[in-house]
Structure 1
């Protein structure tokens, strides 16, 4: 009898479970009506993009309708001027993880969207935009769309995060794994101090195969694999590539002078030895004897094809170098003031020969003084 009662209970529970599952498994109501009106920006609005700023554009629309309530999510979609949104060039969720009837898009991202739609830098193009409302698996395209005109500045929509120089004209040669890395000065801006010889070079964002490649055409940076040809003898340069404006600059560096403030002149010359390094193997140093003591201040003069540039400490005044961090020796562009932004030799350098190196490496622009 007990077994019979137990079996009856199991059967009853099974019937209840099946009945409950059938009730819970009824289909969801996914009906909704598509967005019928777009709020802002107005149709054919012209936006002059400034991707380097914090500027943005607010896109707004009316809510889709659902008689039975429930959560509706929204995506904004962009397409080329003649597109039908079957293959939009860009889609993204609305604010509030898709729940709000608006989205704020920065000029930086609009610049990327315009590029994806084929609008070239330094040109103007029109895109269509609309909204997709969805509830569960049911997604509906808005019954209306608008056009927005985007004026792109010069420069790239996507800046490389790293940049390398490779080719027969470079110090690393044609082996891509030995490509010379540039220093990232700021977002989209890269610089290198290096030598070039007769041959060619190209820029790439990877020191492996498959990276994006760039070349220079009349000072303008362009994407592609058309190498830059270098002729003549080997020379040392400071090369600067600004992807935010798609421009490049080149300056020949002839030598670097070790300038001692108290004498008001250069006491030694550093010559290029490769690998972004200038060196003076032996310089006679003697501190200047003032009445109050011996003066040991110095900085550097960069001799370029266009004239003199001064590099020194970011501090207006400095103590002797003993116990100072590595940043004490970093070099920065400074004024030609005789006394400001100078370093101080270690006291042991007085009346000795010193070896001086200035290194412009991707991790830091710095220098080193070694007492011989």
Structure 2
């Protein structure tokens, strides 16, 4: 009997608890009044975009209203000049993860917005902006919309994530699936050491049909498309650089690559370009220099270009002998012409011997080199 009373009491308590909780449940109040006024920037503000250096643009507005003072989230939305925001071309949450009545937008992102609105590079056009306020499932566009007059710089608002080179003028030939990858040296900037011969070349974001493609016009500007002009110069080796941020290119002719020995302050041998971003020397005699304190084995490389000499060496100002060192020991980076700094050391076995030297500027990893004692 006592046990039955206990079970009955527990059941009654549970029923009371459920009934009490049910009484506390209320419908979510999603009532909302949209943002009424946009504060900044002013309507038809003119902005000359400088994505690399320009300050962020701050958009501000008055708060939307709700009956219960609940949480309101905001999105800054953009559309084409003739759009109605039914399908915004770009949207981003406001500062403070969407709760503040302001949004800071970089000029780089605003450049993307302008491109999405159909404003071409090196030209001016208009984009519209508004604010979307939301509470729960209720989202309302601001009562006011405004227009910005933007002037885009040269360059691409959306740069390719990767870049490849192919065409009749290249080592890859005209098969896009065999296109040569370029090294990304910074955001939107790509580099490749390669040879070019008479013919034409194209750049592609991916080595496959249907990928975005680009060409370099007669003025050296990068353009979207495939109407590449012909190259008529004899075959030469270049360092090609493509900057999509400003749509410019440079082609520096590489006239030679030498093995520079510090103690002699001169080259002790020349490497030959063999293709695939690689230079080699089958045999270079090496003899360490005798100082009073011992024999000196330091070296780096001279890159001879049409515009002057450049030096490639170690990322370390001073180095130890190579035995037991990681692969990064042999990485090549641009260095100064200081006779002694940023050099490597030959294996002691190389003294009074010949060495085989290979230098790789391939894009699939750090620029590097190997020394093999013969």
Q: Specify the TM-score bucket, using the shorter chain as the normaliser.
A: 0.7 to 0.9
1:8 corresponds to which residue? none
Matches within 5 A, 1:73-88: 73-88=73-88
Cα deviation digits, residues 309-342 of structure 1 (max 9, x gap): 2222222222221122222211222222222222
User: What is the number of equivalent residue pairs in this alignment?
Assistant: 356
1:210 corresponds to which residue? 210
Moved more, 208-217 or 96-105: 96-105
Matches within 5 A, 1:1-372: 30-53=30-53, 55-217=55-217, 218-362=219-363, 363-372=365-374
3-state SS of paired residue (1:252):
strand
Cα deviation digits, residues 245-294 of structure 1 (max 9, x gap): 11100011122111122222221110101110001100111111222211
For 1:310 and 1:27, how far apart are their aligned partners in 2?
Answer: 72
For 1:223 and 1:324, how far apart are their aligned partners in 2?
Answer: 45
For 2:73 and 2:33, how far apart are their aligned partners in 1?
Answer: 12
2:8 corresponds to which residue? none
Cα deviation digits, residues 143-188 of structure 1 (max 9, x gap): 2122223332222111222111011221121222221111111111
For 1:94 and 1:265, how far apart are their aligned partners in 2?
Answer: 60
Cα deviation digits, residues 67-124 of structure 1 (max 9, x gap): 3554433322212334333343222333344333222222221111111111222333
- TM-score, length-scaled by structure 1: 0.87
Pair 370,131 (structure 1): closer, same or farther in 2 beyond 3 Å: same
> Which runs of 5 or more structure 2 residues have no equivalent in the other structure?
1-14
For 2:358 and 2:68, how far apart are their aligned partners in 1?
Answer: 76
Pair 317,62 (structure 1): closer, same or farther in 2 beyond 3 Å: same
Preserved CA contact (<8 Å) 1:202 1:228: no
3-state SS of paired residue (1:58):
strand
Q: CA deviation at 1:47?
A: 3.1
For 2:267 and 2:33, how far apart are their aligned partners in 1?
Answer: 79
For 1:142 and 1:181, how far apart are their aligned partners in 2?
Answer: 47
Cα deviation digits, residues 2-52 of structure 1 (max 9, x gap): xxxxxxxxxxx9xx99xx79x97x976544322211122222333333323
For 1:219 and 1:200, how far apart are their aligned partners in 2?
Answer: 14
3-state SS of paired residue (1:262):
helix
Q: CA deviation at 1:60?
A: 1.7
- TM-score, length-scaled by structure 2: 0.87
